[in-house]
Amino acid sequence: MRTLFGTVNEIKDLGAVAEHCPNCNALRCCLLRIVIQGHYICFAKITDPLRQSSCLCTDCLTPFPGKPRWNYAEVVPLRDARGMDLNELLTKTNPILADRIRLKETIGELGGDKRFAVAYENVEGMRPGKLHSDLLQKLLEWPQLSESQRDDLEEQIGSLSRAWRFASQMAIGFPKSSGSPTFFMSAPIFGLILICMLVTRSWIWGGLALAGSVVVAAALESTLLNRSIRKWTLQVLVPEAQKANVPLDRFAVVVDDIPSSKRGMTEDLWPMKDQLENIRETLMAKSIRQGTTTPEMR
């Protein structure tokens, strides 16, 4: 309910998930909620509401910060969750946590296998996502692997972990614009169009010309940005990858794992994901000129 003046908190229950309760220090059935905080003056919203996820442990009734809804595979209605086994609820709603619990059990069984410990630490240092989940799943099969397969898996995870750290570092200097003053280059054109509109009083043709100039400016910026990215790929990415001993096919794999949705735009690596095909085409052209072929260009 909104108020005349002040802050209002609204709570929306989404359903039940299996989560680790920090108060009980154990796996529990928890109620996932969204807490919406809004600021109003005379019933009018003056700022965008702040949304936060929260969990309420159904055992000790203690609330604690929760993960966003999309981090769970499913959210089960509370009335259905009450009749479910906790392990069944865990598998259904929170498979990532289920994998972590199984990994802890595997670590205990393996004891002093240093290769597994190093591989697990490398995977945990990577960004949560499909690649992260796939590597954790492979680690769960560690007890059934032969010695050579364990060595191969450790090498694969190690190279991907290096590629992830390398990509995070390279994202800082990745060109997000062409670096050219496209707007100022187009400003004289805009001025001439406005003068034409005032003199001829033809607002329709003037508006069409203005829209056309904006399209031309955007196309020019896109062309210059593509050229800037190709230059960055050849002059920065390739030599730095060689120095860091990071295969470019591994670099492409970790960048490709970044979400393509708008949520991914909050990440520093998203601009590289958005331009990954441009990077690949540049590497392919370089490979053709040199008469070589590399895995990331296939």
Q: Name the H helices within 201-298.
A: 203-232, 238-244, 248-256, 270-274, 276-290
Higher pLDDT, 18 or 82: 18
Residue written as token pair 């990331």: 296
- 289 Ramachandran zone, left/alpha/beta (phi>0; psi -120 to 50): alpha
User: Averaged over 99-108, what is the pLDDT?
Assistant: 75
User: pLDDT category, 29, cuts 50, 70, 90?
Assistant: very high
Closest Cα partner for 253 from 109, 184, 114, 157?
Answer: 157
User: pLDDT category, 30, cuts 50, 70, 90?
Assistant: very high
pLDDT value at residue 185: 52
Phi, psi (5° rounding) for residue 178?
Answer: -70, -20
- Worst-scoring range by mean pLDDT, 37-46, 51-60, 244-253? 37-46
Higher pLDDT, 132 or 188: 132
CA–CA dist 58, 48 (Å, integer): 31
pLDDT value at residue 266: 44
- Worst-scoring range by mean pLDDT, 6-15, 88-97, 123-132, 259-268? 259-268
pLDDT value at 63 more than 80: yes
pLDDT value at residue 115: 84
pLDDT value at residue 213: 56
* CA-only gyration radius of the chain, Å: 27
pLDDT value at residue 191: 55
- Worst-scoring range by mean pLDDT, 80-94, 143-157, 191-205, 268-282? 191-205
Per-residue model confidence as pLDDT tens digits over 152-194: 999 999 999 999 989 888 888 888 765 555 444 555 555 555 5
User: pLDDT category, 125, cuts 50, 70, 90?
Assistant: confident
Q: Select the highest-mean-pLDDT range: 50-54, 70-74, 224-228.
A: 70-74
Higher pLDDT, 175 or 50: 175
pLDDT value at 84 more than 70: yes
- Worst-scoring range by mean pLDDT, 52-56, 77-81, 209-213? 209-213
DSSP string, 109-164: HHTT-HHHHHHHHHHHTSPSSHHHHHHHHHHHTGGGS-HHHHHHHHHHHHHHHHHH
Residue 84 DSSP class: S
pLDDT value at 121 more than 70: yes
Closest Cα partner for 123 from 162, 178, 175, 79?
Answer: 162
Residue spans per domain, the chain: 5-84, 97-172, 175-297
pLDDT value at residue 272: 85
pLDDT value at residue 97: 86
Closest Cα partner for 288 from 276, 273, 298?
Answer: 298
> What separation in angstroms does the CA of 219 have from each of 121, 186, 224, 231?
45, 12, 9, 19
CA–CA dist 278, 182 (Å, integer): 21
User: Averaged over 199-210, what is the pLDDT?
Assistant: 56
CA atoms within 13 A on the CB side of 203: 0
Are 92 and 56 in contact, with CB atoms under 8 Å apart? Answer: no
pLDDT value at 215 more than 70: no
pLDDT value at residue 19: 93
Estimate the share of the chain in helix, then strand, then coil, as percent rounded to the nearest 5.
60, 15, 25
CA–CA dist 255, 262 (Å, integer): 16
Q: H or E stretch including 234?
A: none
Look at the alpha carbons of 96, 97, 103, 107 in this order and tell me if their dihedral is positive or negative: positive
